Structure 1
Amino acid sequence: MRFSRLIWANIFNRPVRSLLTISGVAVAVGAVVALVGIASGFERSLRDVYESRGVDLIVLQSGKLQQVSSVLPQSIGEELARVEGVDSVAAMLMDVVALGGDNFGVPVLGLSPDEFILQQFKVTSGKRLRSDGRREVLVGHALAEGLKLAVGDPIDVIDGETFTVAGVCESTNVNENGAIIMALADLQELMLREGEVTLFGVHAGKTDPHSIQQLRERITAEDGALAAAGSKLSVSDSQQFAAHSAEMRIAKSLAWLTSTVALIVGAVGILNTMLMAVFERTGELAMMRAVGWRRSRVMSLVLAEAVGMAAAGAVVGSLGGVLITRLLALTPAGARIISGQIAPEVILQGFAVAFVLGVIGGAYPAYRAARMEPIDGLRHD
């Protein structure tokens, strides 16, 4: 019998125990794929929000843990626009509101209607925002579907503050599809933040990496003059901004911490199964040693069985994680924050985790089987 066939035969000889072990690994891998995939997708969406709108650099107040807590004077935008290499500057105010029911944590974006970022939104029905103070909003299509909103409907952004839906916009970005967009002046008045913004999006005249880096250095060098307006500045490109934001770090940390519990259960399951398999096959393993099998070959056999079950669990878990993510993206609340797409590298991480589980769970049973003396094993049987 070939070595590979022997491995799978030993696994299928104990179908119930192997199935339970594979299920444990599948839960662990599924948790990694789903949770880490959602966190990574959210980071990708946050990065795409700015990249797709032509934002080359993002200027925030430095030292702030969360993006929405950044406070900058709106007048800084004029200083930024005068920096050499800056083509245009867009001021953005961001906040989060609860609209009742499952619609909590809805992002609200305040933008000047004539700035380049807002002009790039794709309005699928209705009209764009105007700068004549009509208290109108654009609503992302996922939020509009969840709240059953249509053009012309009223929406209470906060209690007692009613706006009219001017249009519904659609984006490839999940964050924008679940957001409310309004005129910057309206949001400043609504949140009692007149003259303040959260960040500035800078569109550069030259967008090659070298020119962007030079522009970033010039803005940083101008920090002394700009700081006179009352703020220290943090300047980053969209990729750096998304990767280092506190929200992303917290989301990824929570994803891995939650997954760790399932990973420990999966490792213990493999360890228990392989220990029982070694115990039950003591005579068989001793006979292999007696007919000339080397210790390393016996160890390889047991380890390969453990990794084989882990690989089967990785396949099932990855499929389950992808399916769960896509189902969550179909719910009204999930559609606002989950894209439903899992990056290939996240699935590869799931398989890598399964391999490590197999090695960890099979290492001691393999060592114990390899150290067995043939005479002791035959006497045991």
Structure 2
Amino acid sequence: MRFSRLVTANLLGRPVRTLLTLSGIAVAVGAVVALVGVSAGFEKAMLDSYESRNVDLVVLQAGKMQQMMSVLPESLGEQLAALDGVETVTPFLMDVVSLSQEDVMGVTIQGWPQDSPQWDQYELIDGQPLEASGPKSLLVGKRLAELLNKHAGDQLEVYEGEPFNVAGVYERFIRFEDGAIAMPLADLQDLMFREGEVSLFMVTATESARTDLPGLTARIHALQSGLEVAPPSEFAENSPELKTVRSIAWLTSSIALVVGAVGILNTMLMAVFERTKEIAMMRAVGWRRSRVMRLVMSEALLLALGGAVLGSLGAIALMRVLSYSPSAGRLVSGDVSGEVVLQGFIVALVLGLLGGLYPAYRASRLAPIEGLRHE
């Protein structure tokens, strides 16, 4: 019998146990792919948001755990604009609210100056631009508008007792912005009691200064202490919010990973115990210990790879379903990168190695005479 047939025969000969082990591994790998995929999607969306606005540097208050907790004086924008190598400076204010009347939580509000070119990024599919609307008007993202069943001309109470007119509904290719609200900076400052304050500044460098961003960064730091300055890619990668999301994702996944590793360990130990005489016969007819180890390890790795395939497919399907959900679709794009899937397969292989190593070692140390006496 071929070596590969021996590997599959044990797994197929015990279908219930194999299926249960595959399910445990699939849950573990699926948790990694889904949760890490969500955090990676957030990072990509944040980076795409800045890159679509031609941002070269992000300036915010240093040491803040969350972007919206950063507080900078709006007047700093004039100092930034006067620096050599700066083409444009855009102040930005952000808040996250819960719309209690509509029972929707975690809605991002973006505040831009009324004359900012950033408003051109919002492609209106319903209604009219803010400059053509009256006071206390805002724009609502397409996905949020669908969730709230709001259209141009409707009213939306963003903060309690502060109704705003929905001037228009916009569409953005960035998922979390498509589920957000955009309003004039002055209105958001008034609502947040942060007159003359912003969360951060988006800086676009001149063509010549882009070749020396570290020099421009140093000039910005020299303006005042307590500033954090970074390119969008570095800012997105090191964002405290995303670090927290990634940590929670791996912490949650680790529980499933432990269960998966124990499942493989239990399955392979039982397989070795039930096949004691068979393994003893193999050793008696000349199988080396290394070949016995390779047999058991191959079975464990095959289980792990099978679970990785099922888990990855399940996670991708779950992400796609969530992306069409009215509430979760505001945050989950449904796209899973190949890098995240590869991480899932690597995790599965590690599970296979950890779960199969001891049973394989135990099988290889089995003496033929002791195995043939086994009942």
TM-score class, shorter: over 0.9
Q: Deviations along 1:189-242, whole A, 9 cap, x unmatched?
A: 1111110000001112228xxx43623433433433x32xxx621111111111
The answer for the alignment partner of 2:269 in structure 1 is: 275
Do the aligned partners of residues 131 and 196 (structure 1) sit closer, same or farther apart at CA in structure 2, a change above 3 Å counting? farther
The answer to whether 1:24 aligns with 2:27 is no
Structure 1 segments of 4 or more deviating over 3 A?
Answer: none
**Alignment partner of 1:289: what SS?**
helix
The answer for the alignment partner of 2:240 in structure 1 is: 246
Q: Deviations along 1:242-296, whole A, 9 cap, x unmatched?
A: 1111110110111111111111111101100100000000010011111111100
Distance 2:33 2:197 in 1: 40
Between stretches 115-124 and 3-12, larger displacement belongs to 115-124
Please list, as runs of the form range in 1=range in 2, the aligned pairs for 1:91-130 lying within 5 A after superposition.
91-100=91-100, 101-130=102-131
Please list, as runs of the form range in 1=range in 2, the aligned pairs for 1:40-55 lying within 5 A after superposition.
40-55=40-55
**Alignment partner of 2:130: what SS?**
coil
- Overall identity of the aligned pairs, in %: 55
Q: Please tell me the root mean square deviation across aligned C-alpha atoms, in Å.
A: 1.5
Please list, as runs of the form range in 1=range in 2, the aligned pairs for 1:303-314 lying within 5 A after superposition.
303-314=297-308
The answer for the alignment partner of 1:145 in structure 2 is: 146
Q: CA deviation at 1:183?
A: 0.3
Contact 1:38 1:338 in 2 (8 A): yes
Q: CA deviation at 1:135?
A: 1.0
Structure 2 residues without counterparts, runs of 5 or longer: none
**Alignment partner of 1:286: what SS?**
helix
Contact 1:61 1:233 in 2 (8 A): yes
Equivalent residue letter for 1:306: A
Contact 1:216 1:235 in 2 (8 A): no
Distance 1:253 1:140 in 2: 29
Distance 2:152 2:250 in 1: 41
The answer for the alignment partner of 1:289 in structure 2 is: 283
Distance 2:18 2:355 in 1: 13
Equivalent residue letter for 1:175: F
Q: CA deviation at 1:301?
A: 0.2
The answer to whether 1:348 aligns with 2:349 is no
Equivalent residue letter for 2:302: G
Query: Of 218, 221, 235, which aligns to 1:220?
Result: 218
Query: What count of residue pairs does the alignment treat as equivalent?
Result: 374
Q: CA deviation at 1:127?
A: 1.7
Equivalent residue letter for 1:292: G
The answer for the alignment partner of 2:171 in structure 1 is: 170
The answer for the alignment partner of 2:360 in structure 1 is: 366
- Taking structure 2 as the reference length, the TM-score comes to 0.97
Between stretches 183-192 and 212-221, larger displacement belongs to 212-221
Q: Deviations along 1:33-88, whole A, 9 cap, x unmatched?
A: 11110111011111111111111111101111111000000011111111111111
Distance 1:182 1:151 in 2: 14
Q: Deviations along 1:147-168, whole A, 9 cap, x unmatched?
A: 0010010000111101111111
Do the aligned partners of residues 52 and 143 (structure 1) sit closer, same or farther apart at CA in structure 2, a change above 3 Å counting? same
Contact 1:85 1:215 in 2 (8 A): no
Contact 1:311 1:354 in 2 (8 A): yes
**Alignment partner of 1:356: what SS?**
helix
Equivalent residue letter for 1:247: E
Equivalent residue letter for 1:360: L
